[in-house]
């Protein structure tokens, strides 16, 4: 610790920065991550935080609060929306162009965790959509016969800090610190969890591991990287606000999800308390002596009376209405993520037809994930000394346009009557996802015009066979 002076010349204690110290941008973002991460884990995690997410009511005793907490559950709106939006990106497989056979083969296990490129895209997109961005390191072990590049995804909370410089007119990454959790064998059957920080710079790396006894990070390993002139680390955003800085596009939905949880808890508690009618006795001084049950009979003085009191259903309507309003707000925000703000108020048909809105979160995510894959392909190819990295295309057709059976019949009727051409018919069937993605309309028309046959070149005669013929 060291001291400095503030504007009032008063000593201020400042903690020294270490390899694990997050930078200022990290701290600005961190305040939004906890709620999202906890909602993603569901009811158990939210309950474990107790009063952080479910405030204790005024004059509510601890036992009553604990019982209310145990009855409260989270409807996983945020988790459902995150999965839905990520699934839209892989509704159609990632298309690869000019990617070498060697790289293609390795993309079937892109992260050495058994995930192919499409599964990896789905999982990585979930992080990008939930937290605002993510980073990917393309690493390559130097040892072992089967050593090959692989892709490692880091959440924003694992990217502790970074430095950049203007190199050749562009801002380039010169240092990044990554928080990692490693599981290693401990003895014959046990295992131990290790926290470490990986520091990457151009051409070199360091690994600092935490000393569990002292709580300090010490240099554990260092060395040179295969790629000398760059750091093989790429980032994708869903809502960028700066270099390696973002805001979650789902944070408003997370706040609404939490509010829904709190109101639902209050309503469930009210219903729990009021579900059994309360017996009220009037004009009888010894009411505490009264017992009720299926085999009980009551005798009261003439001036006494009793009745069951229960709240009317009208008293709950406002709470139910609040829950419905919150659900509607959540649906509106999730729809805006797909269609953009411009289309949210339009008709269902307009929403279905116009899917090219550039202001939608999903259009941004699709382009960002495509750029991320392209950058990773470049790093991957450089590790393997492949001259051409190729490129990718991530699906942007988020809404299914598959034709219904009656629509197909109508198209066929128009074709048979001569109203539309064969080309129009095939184009409509292709756009309606009836024909495969690799279906080529022009080739199909050419084939049918040739009577279903295409001209094929005669196979070349083997050289040996030709020589034998001449000898004869």
> How is the chain split into domains, by residue range?
401-459
pLDDT for residue 296 is more than 70: no
Give the residues across from 329 on adjacent strands: none
Distances (CA, A) of 167 to 5, 172, 275, 424: 36, 6, 70, 52
Of the pLDDT bands very low, low, confident and very high (cuts 50, 70, 90), residue 337 is confident
The Cα–Cα gap between 367 and 357 comes to 13
Give the model confidence (pLDDT) of 368-396 as tens digits.
999 999 999 999 999 999 989 999 999 98
Query: For position 291, what pLDDT does the model report?
Result: 66
Q: Which residue has the higher pLDDT, 269 or 193?
A: 193
Share of the chain above pLDDT 70, in %: 70
Query: For position 277, what pLDDT does the model report?
Result: 66
Q: Which of 70-84, 414-428, 446-460 has the highest mean pLDDT?
A: 70-84
The Cα–Cα gap between 391 and 393 comes to 7
What does the mean pLDDT of the chain come to? Answer: 81
Q: Is 9 helix (H, G, I), strand (E, B) or coil?
A: coil
Structure-token pair, residue 73: 């559950």
**What do you get for the CA distance between the two ends of the chain, in Å?**
98
Taking alpha carbons only, the member of 166, 243, 228, 154 closest to residue 198 is 154
Q: Is 445 helix (H, G, I), strand (E, B) or coil?
A: helix
Residue pair 54/261 in contact (Cβ under 8 Å)? The answer is: yes
Give the model confidence (pLDDT) of 234-260 as tens digits.
999 999 999 999 999 999 999 999 999
Share of the chain above pLDDT 90, in %: 47
Mean pLDDT for the stretch of residues 179-192: 92
Of the pLDDT bands very low, low, confident and very high (cuts 50, 70, 90), residue 278 is low
Q: Is the pTM value of this prediction over 0.85?
A: no
């Amino acid at each position: 610790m060291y001291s400095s002076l503030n504007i009032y010349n008063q000593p201020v204690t400042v903690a020294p920065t270490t390899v694990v110290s997050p930078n200022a941008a990290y701290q600005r973002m961190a305040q939004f991550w906890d709620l999202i991460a906890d909602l993603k884990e569901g009811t158990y995690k939210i309950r474990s935080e107790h009063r952080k997410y479910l405030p204790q009511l005024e004059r509510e005793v601890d036992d009553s609060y604990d019982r209310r907490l145990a009855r409260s559950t989270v409807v996983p709106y945020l988790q459902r929306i995150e999965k839905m939006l990520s699934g839209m990106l892989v509704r159609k497989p990632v298309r690869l162009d000019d990617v070498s056979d060697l790289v293609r083969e390795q993309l079937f296990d892109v992260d050495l965790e058994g995930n192919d490129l499409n599964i990896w895209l789905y999982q990585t997109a979930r992080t990008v959509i939930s937290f605002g961005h993510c980073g990917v390191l393309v690493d390559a072990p130097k040892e072992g016969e089967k050593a090959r590049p692989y892709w490692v995804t880091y959440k924003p909370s694992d990217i502790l800090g970074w430095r950049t410089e203007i190199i050749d007119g562009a801002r380039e990454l010169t240092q990044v610190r990554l928080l990692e959790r490693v599981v290693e064998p401990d003895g014959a059957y046990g295992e131990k969890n290790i926290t470490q920080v990986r520091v990457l710079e151009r051409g070199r790396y360091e690994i600092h591991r935490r000393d569990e006894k002292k709580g300090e990070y010490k240099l554990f390993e260092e060395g040179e990287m295969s790629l000398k002139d760059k750091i093989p680390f790429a980032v994708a955003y869903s809502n960028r606000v700066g270099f390696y800085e973002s805001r979650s596009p789902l944070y408003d939905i997370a706040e609404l999800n939490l509010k829904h949880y709190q109101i639902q808890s209050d309503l469930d508690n009210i219903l729990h308390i009021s579900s059994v009618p309360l017996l009220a006795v009037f004009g009888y001084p010894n009411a505490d002596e009264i017992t009720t049950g299926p085999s009980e009979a009551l005798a009261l003085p003439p001036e006494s009376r009793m009745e069951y009191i229960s709240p009317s259903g009208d008293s709950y309507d406002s709470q139910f209405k609040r829950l419905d309003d919150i659900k509607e707000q959540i649906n509106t925000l999730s729809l805006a993520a797909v269609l953009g703000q411009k289309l949210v108020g339009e008709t269902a048909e307009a929403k279905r037809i116009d899917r090219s809105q550039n202001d939608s979160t999903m259009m941004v995510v699709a382009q960002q994930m495509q750029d991320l894959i392209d950058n990773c392909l470049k790093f991957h190819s450089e590790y393997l000394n492949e001259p051409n990295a190729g490129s990718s295309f991530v699906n942007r057709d988020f809404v299914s346009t598959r034709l219904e059976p009656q629509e197909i019949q109508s198209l066929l009727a128009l074709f048979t009557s001569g109203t539309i051409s064969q080309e129009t018919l095939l184009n409509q069937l292709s756009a309606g996802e009836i024909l495969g993605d690799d279906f080529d309309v022009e080739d199909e028309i050419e084939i049918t015009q040739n009577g279903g046959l295409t001209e094929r070149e005669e196979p070349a005669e083997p050289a040996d066979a030709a020589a034998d013929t001449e000898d004869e």
